[in-house]
Amino acid sequence: MPPSAKAASPALRLEAVGHRFRAGKRAVTALDGITADAAPGAITGLIGPDGAGKTTLMRLIAGLLRLDAGRIEVLGIDVVRDPLAVQARLGYMPQRFGLYEDLSVRENLDLYADLQGVPPAARAGRYAELLHMTGLGPFTRRMAGRLSGGMKQKLGLACTLVNPPDLLLLDEPTVGVDPVSRRELWQIIDHLTRTAHMTVLFSTAYLDEAERCDSVLLIHDGRLLGSGPPGSFTAEMAGRTFFATASSGRRRLQARLAGAPNVIDAVIQGARVRVVTAAASPPDADVLAPDLPDLAFVPTAPRFEDGFVARLRALNTAAAPAARPAAIPNAPVGGNGGGDMISVRHLTRRFGAFTAVDDVSFQVARGEIFGLLGANGAGKSTTFRMLCGLLPASEGSLRVAGFDLRTAAATARGRIGYMAQKFSLYGDLSVRQNLRFFSSAYRLFGGRQRDRIDWAVNEFDLTPLLNDTARDLPLGFKQRLALACALMHEPDILFLDEPTSGVDPLARRDFWRRINLLAEAGVTVLVTTHFMEEAEYCDRLAIMAQGRVLTAGNPEAIKATARTSALPDPTMEDAFIAIIEAAAAHSATEAA
Amino acid sequence: MWRQVLALIVKELLAVLRDGKSRMVLVGPPLIQLLVFGYAATFDLNNVPVAIYDKDQSQASRDLVARFLGAPAFRLVASLHSEQPIDDLIDSRQAAMVLVIDRRLTRDLLTGRPAPVQVIVDGRNSNTALLIEGYANTILSDFALSWGAAHGVPPPPAVLAMRARYNPTLSSRWFVVPGIVALLTQVVTLLVVGLSVARERETGTFDQLLVTPLRPIDILLGKGLPGVLIGVTEATVTILAAVWWFDVPLRGGLIALYLGLVLFVIAVTGIGLMLSSLATTQQQALLGAFLFMVPTIILSGFATPIANMPDWVQDLTLINPMRYFLVIVRGVFLEGASLSSLVSQYWPMAAIGGVSLAAAGWLFRKRVT
Amino acid sequence: MNQAVRRMGGLLRKEFLQIWRDPSALAIAFLLPAVLLLIFGYGVSLDARNVNLALVVQQPGPLATSFTSQFGRSPFFVTHSFQTIQAAEQAMAAREVKGIVWLPSNFGRRAAAGGGSPIGVIVNGVDANDARIIEGYVQQVWAGWLAAQARESGHAASLSIAVEPQVRFNPAVSSRDYLVPGLIAMIMTLTGALLTALVIAREWERGTMEALMVTRVRIREILLAKLIPYFLLGMGGMAASVAIAVWLFGVPLHGSLWVLTAASALFMLTALGMGLLISTFARNQFVAGQIAIITTFLPAFILSGFVFDINSMPGAVRVITHVVAARYFVAILQSLFLAGDVWPVILPNAAALAAMAIIFLGLARAIARKRLD
């Protein structure tokens, strides 16, 4: 194809793309009428929560799935008609890129070079370029399985790029990667489009990454919710975003504002509450909360997420659960009085020669929301599992409500609620059967059991789904059901392991609304997350990397450490990167 | 505590029965296997292809040939007129036996000299060869005795009066079908239980269980009892089929049978749970179950007697629960064995079950990923 | 073409590196067959030796003594004397003896007088096969005793037929010589299906299959790259099994090595093809594993003619055995080991194996798509 023709037409053209599959007995429409283009040489972001259809769309473009409706054209070639020709010119990095873990970096590159038909003569130069770009040069002989998460992603990218493709599909390459590696990945991608004029389709569930793209396709539930440059999403939100402050405490304030008229979004950000209004005017403080004399609004710049939330709210105004004032009954009181509900001192966990958690100490007070923040492999899940009694500690002491749960009597475990990282209820059982089982496991029987199941069904709007098989539920409902099961027995302490990963922004807000209410009622909450923005909701948090706590404190204090004249209002991610870099510099000077 | 365990059991059964595929694994293959194997696994001789070379062509020799062909065990594939095709027939497995009647048969019979009859057997299947020899010997000596009686030859000083106790017709189906009860019970129980913990580990629900107030003993009971329930149900269906479909006599008491059955299923459940707790993935659990299943079936006495094994292998089979249950199920079915005569079979299974269940309960908490 | 060769080269190198670095495949290919063959080779035997036999002699006499001493000389029996038939029956109920030979009190008198004195033989018929074999042994002892009597007394033989048994290929009628070749077939069925089903499941599980699919590689190249290394591994396991059979168990190998190799190759292709087919059908490794177990082990054990003679099965079941690949391989192996290159046996069975290999591999190729749905 002549280069002129290539430049004129879009690199990727989607026309009314549709795809269906079966989940259990139901037919699910994964994608419905997606029509969009991707300009050559640009980064197009494919943005949406888990289950929106991002991966399905990627696979359809790569010719790996049956196309049920519409037409996909890649570089002018019809994918259905000639998938091999398309595959020859496109690079695709699946979500879990298939690195052969028992092959070295070099051997993985060799394999993909062979598969993509790179002539041996051209390899040395190409490898050098890729290894330089990804910073993997020193590790060519290392087994891929022994690389860190970020390095694995970079190697996966390098393998995809061995033969430079014309169109590069990247399916959530930044999920679970630490912020430093994430920034490096973005630098590579920028470099590819700017210098090699590669077209990139980049999918992500992180809304803040949308702003780095040239153009965005926002999809939700298999439908295109909007497309255009990211600026167009934020532009329509101009003048509608504010910070609210009041002396009443941010959680109460947030709860107050969340359901208020003219307010479509209210989330905690550090000590303040970020408010998005329906109209381009600040909410009237006197009408909203006359009893809060010091309530004040300061305008702030809109974000991409605001546009997403506004569109979602417009979609389902009727079924917005967040508007309902929630009541968490029977606030747990009594027990150990005040003081620390969770206490961790010098906690260490080794797996063979590898130290997963290294001398970690922190305390969590009653009614506090405490966050463990870090990338995959930072040690937060290991810490979490030790606290829940699922894993013995190698050294150090830990107390949860005064017990070590690993050795404590069964009754002590009755005081905690636990929600695992991935959906871990019984997929074969119906919603009702799951509720009944978990309430029995927590020793609720008879009338009490009925009451609590009724409570859970009402509180989490599960009535229409009671007889559905849990496996086939939409992700947001799975997460609600999991929380309902964890709260069945009104625990004093709630453990949440990455509770909101992959859910859409509204479901995440709904989830945090409940968590806030629980904390207000005196429930102690320990939550792990790799969403920087979620860290803002915590009262205090600890940032972990390589098994160590790098810093701990309230969100404002942690962000303040990164405040410079060049960066007057740093984000949590800025702070995280600054802290990691400082720690790296520190250990470097120590070594020297 | 019992209500918690009951909730676990209900959950476990629902998880198995709500899923169409698991239901299939429980019902389809066992039934098909019962029918196919019930008919296929036979040591009886039927339709053995034989060739006969009758050189004598006399009244006596025709009488002898008729005796062979009258037996359902043999099927004539060729009447020979020379020795030449014999090798080919045997080599190519067209005939498993060739009967060669010497030209002197009638003469020797009349003169009182032993008349030679050659029986050439294909020894590639040594068991069939032995059985063919046995059949042929019986037919030949019967023939000799009745010929002698008819022609006034004095009878031999003693004759054998053979009887088979418990299985008078020596039908191997009576031997094999009760064995299949044990075989299928083990396979199904192992497949259900052996994967249950590994599956929960893989989906993360096992962690969810461990953080509830459930104690390891509760989880053990909650995991084990459904396996026992399913195993006993499966076995009951097979037993009914053995009695009503295959007409195997059930001579002993049901109590003796079901005591053995329950102990056997408990032992298999314990081993399955143990394997399952050791495994981190379902794949590993499946492989483990498989590697356990193959030797325990082959070295159980199901097809080949344990008494024929060398001593060290016999010692090895002492930890195989199926070996004990096979004795019980065959004993109760055919011999009408009593509860007291089977004590020596009950207690080893109880011991295996106890040890493996204890190990599984210990592994629940120890084994972490 | 050049590109295709390079792609295959890359895939093959990857496969061999993985096998080399991950011992589990090597273990399944070599260790598993060797261990199974050792245990089964020693453990599986149909030869009744040292059968416990109760002898009840109610009235001793010279004839009775000469008869019972005949049992003492037999290698098959270990005799135990009982005074009464009741005591012997109790021993049988307690499974201490498998058979009873009973000389009633009038045995000596009747035998001396007119002959035809009955000797009671009772065997435990639960294990019908064992019981038949024991009956056969008793009959041999009896016939031997009659002949000896005739020689001693100088009378004409009382049994007028002299059976001249001749067991071809396995004169000692050793069940090990017959079972070991069948065991090899069964074990290779297992490892063949297990190897492919597991390695392909692993590619799906780790997400590497998705990454492979989107490259220029063809589906037939992926299948071939799986087939070749595991074929070689399987043949290695086969060689190890044959070596054990010949050198450790002393099973004679009358056939030629090249026929054995060719037949094994055909069978390996069938077994691997079946594994490939299962894993393409059921991408879910769990289902794949279950199918592999249900379709390989038990049928190969019961329907292949390895222990149970196919000729004796009812017609409908005999039809079913035709789809069990092990059946053909068992037939070939038994002939190759014990008889030699018997073409009338080898050719039709090899043709059947080839047909099955083509069907399995063809189906796998037809069903496998470069697609994820």
Looking at residue A307, which CATH number applies to its domain? 3.30.70
Of C6, C206, C372, the CB nearest to A64: C372
Count of CB pairs separated by less than 8 Å, A with B: 80
- CB proximity B310 to C under 8 Å: yes
- CB proximity A471 to B under 8 Å: no
Query: A19: nearest CA in chain C?
Result: C373
Q: Which residue in B138, B162, B186, B250 has the most chain C C-beta atoms within 10 A of its own C-beta, making it the best mutation to test that interface?
A: B162
Longest Cα–Cα distance of chain A, Å, equals 77
Q: Are B345 and B261 in contact (CB under 8 A)?
A: no
Higher-pLDDT residue of C205 and A511 is: A511
Provide the pLDDT for residue A420.
83
Q: Are C33 and A119 in contact (CB under 8 A)?
A: no
Taking CA atoms, B248 is separated from A126, B23, B30, B333, B341, in Å, by 75, 28, 19, 7, 21
Q: Are B204 and A420 in contact (CB under 8 A)?
A: yes
Is C146 a residue whose pLDDT tops 90?
A: no
A201 and A268 inside one domain: no
Identify whether A403 is part of a domain: no
Structural domain count, chain A: 2
Number of H helices, E strands in chain B: 14, 5
B26 and B54 inside one domain: no
Q: Measured between beta carbons, which residues in chain C are less than 8 angstroms from residue B45?
A: 309, 312
Q: Would you call B125 and C130 a contact, using CB atoms and an 8 Å cutoff?
A: no
Give span(s): CATH 3.40.1710.10, chain C. 51-153
A243 and A213 inside one domain: no
Is C227 a residue whose pLDDT tops 80?
A: yes
In percent, the amount of chain C with pLDDT more than 90 equals: 21
> CA A362, CA A342: separation in Å to the nearest integer?
8
Provide the pLDDT for residue A331.
44
Provide the pLDDT for residue B261.
96
Structural domain count, chain B: 2
B residues 177..196 contacting C (CB < 8 A): 187, 191, 195
A55 and A195 inside one domain: yes
Q: Domain with B73 in it: what CATH number?
A: 3.40.1710.10
pTM for the predicted model, two decimal places: 0.83
Average pLDDT over residues B183-212: 85
Q: Give C267's pLDDT tier (boundaries 50, 70, 90).
A: very high
- CB proximity C13 to A under 8 Å: yes
Is C205 a residue whose pLDDT tops 50?
A: yes
> For chain C, which chains pass the contact test of at least 3 CB pairs under 8 Å?
A, B
C-alpha triplet B88, B92, B94: angle, nearest 5°: 95
Identify whether A531 is part of a domain: no
Of C43, C93, C312, the CB nearest to B298: C43
Q: Measured between beta carbons, which residues in chain A are less than 8 angstroms from residue C6?
A: 114, 117
Of C45, C120, C123, the CB nearest to B309: C45
Q: Are B340 and B364 in contact (CB under 8 A)?
A: no
Average pLDDT over residues C195-214: 77
Q: Domain with A131 in it: what CATH number?
A: 3.40.50.300
Q: In CATH, which of 3.40.50.2300, 3.40.50.1370, 3.40.1710.10, 3.40.190.10 is domain C51-153?
A: 3.40.1710.10
> CA B226, CA B222: separation in Å to the nearest integer?
7
Of B10, B19, B213, the CB nearest to A410: B213
B54 and B30 inside one domain: no
A216 and A251 inside one domain: no
Is C116 a residue whose pLDDT tops 90?
A: no
**Comparing C-alpha atoms, which of A520, A450, A533, A453 is closest to residue A488?**
A453
C51: burial class by Cβ within 10 Å (0-12, 13-18, 19+)? Answer: buried
Is B356 a residue whose pLDDT tops 90?
A: yes
The two tokens of residue B233 are: 């149900």
DSSP code for A224: E
Identify whether B31 is part of a domain: yes
Taking the CA of residue C22 and the nearest CA in chain A, the distance in Å comes to: 8
A198 and A313 inside one domain: no
B134 and B201 inside one domain: no
Q: Give B328's pLDDT tier (boundaries 50, 70, 90).
A: very high
Identify whether B255 is part of a domain: yes
Last residue of a domain, one of A174, A199, A233: A233
Q: Measured between beta carbons, which residues in chain B are less than 8 angstroms from residue A390?
A: 207, 210-211, 368
Average pLDDT over residues B34-42: 84
B302 and B336 inside one domain: yes
DSSP code for A95: S
* Side-chain half-sphere exposure of A141, counting CA atoms within 13 A: 0
Is C34 a residue whose pLDDT tops 70?
A: yes
Q: Measured between beta carbons, which residues in chain C are less than 8 angstroms from residue A93?
A: 211
Q: Would you call B121 and C165 a contact, using CB atoms and an 8 Å cutoff?
A: yes
Of B109, B129, B330, the CB nearest to C126: B330
Q: Would you call B11 and A425 a contact, using CB atoms and an 8 Å cutoff?
A: no
DSSP string, B194-250: HHHHHHHHHHTHHHHHHTSS--HHHHHHHHHHHHHHHHHHHHHHHHHIIIIIS----
B344: burial class by Cβ within 10 Å (0-12, 13-18, 19+)? Answer: exposed
Residue C61: strand, helix, or coil: coil
Taking CA atoms, A404 is separated from A222, A256, A389, in Å, by 46, 38, 7
Provide the pLDDT for residue A109.
92
A161 and A290 inside one domain: no
In sequence order, what are the residues at sequence separation of 6 or more whose Cβ sits closer than 8 angstroms to the Cβ of residue A243? Answer: A269, A272, A273, A274, A275, A297, A298, A300
**Comparing C-alpha atoms, which of A69, A73, A71 is closest to residue A31?**
A69
Provide the pLDDT for residue C239.
92
A201 and A248 inside one domain: no
Average pLDDT over residues B218-222: 89
Last residue of a domain, one of A233, A263, A291: A233
C-alpha triplet A400, A406, A407: angle, nearest 5°: 100
Residue B77 sits in which domain range?
48-150
Provide the pLDDT for residue C129.
84
Identify whether A41 is part of a domain: yes
Identify whether A281 is part of a domain: yes
Query: B91: nearest CA in chain C?
Result: C342
Q: Are A513 and A57 in contact (CB under 8 A)?
A: no
Q: Measured between beta carbons, which residues in chain A are less than 8 angstroms from residue B18?
A: 428-430, 469
Q: Would you call B310 and C174 a contact, using CB atoms and an 8 Å cutoff?
A: no
| DSSP-derived pairing of the beta strands A90-93 and B74-79 | unpaired
Q: With the C-alpha atoms ordered B143, B149, B155, B158, is the resulting torsion angle positive or negative?
A: positive
Query: C221: nearest CA in chain A?
Result: A115
Least confident piece of the model among A499-508, B355-364, C291-300: C291-300
Residue A67 sits in which domain range?
3-233
Provide the pLDDT for residue C200.
75
B68 and B33 inside one domain: no
pLDDT tens track of chain A, all 592 residues? 344 444 457 889 999 999 988 766 667 788 998 999 999 989 999 988 877 888 899 999 998 888 899 999 999 899 999 888 888 888 999 887 678 888 999 999 999 999 888 888 999 999 999 999 888 888 899 888 888 778 888 899 999 999 889 999 999 888 777 788 888 889 989 988 888 889 999 998 888 888 889 999 998 888 898 899 988 888 888 888 888 888 777 777 887 787 777 888 888 887 888 888 888 777 777 777 777 778 888 888 888 888 888 888 887 654 444 444 444 444 444 444 457 889 999 999 998 888 889 999 999 998 899 999 887 778 888 898 888 888 888 899 888 888 887 777 777 888 889 988 777 788 888 999 999 999 998 888 888 999 999 999 998 888 888 888 888 887 778 888 999 999 988 999 999 988 877 777 888 888 888 888 888 888 999 999 887 778 888 999 998 888 889 888 888 888 888 888 888 888 888 888 888 888 878 877 776 6
Is C156 a residue whose pLDDT tops 70?
A: no
The two tokens of residue A393 are: 């500690």
B244: burial class by Cβ within 10 Å (0-12, 13-18, 19+)? Answer: exposed
Count of CB pairs separated by less than 8 Å, B with C: 358
Taking the CA of residue A410 and the nearest CA in chain B, the distance in Å comes to: 4
- Chain B residues whose C-beta is within 8 A of a chain A C-beta are 3-4, 6-8, 10-11, 14-15, 18-19, 203-205, 207-215, 368
C-alpha triplet B165, B166, B169: angle, nearest 5°: 80
> CA C176, CA C192: separation in Å to the nearest integer?
24
A16 and A161 inside one domain: yes
Last residue of a domain, one of A188, A211, A233: A233
The two tokens of residue B23 are: 């239901």
A141 and A244 inside one domain: no
C residues 215..244 contacting A (CB < 8 A): 215-218
Identify whether B158 is part of a domain: no
B183 and B198 inside one domain: yes
Average pLDDT over residues C322-339: 91
Residue type for B10, please? V
Taking the CA of residue A419 and the nearest CA in chain B, the distance in Å comes to: 8
* Chain-centroid distance, C-alpha C10: 40
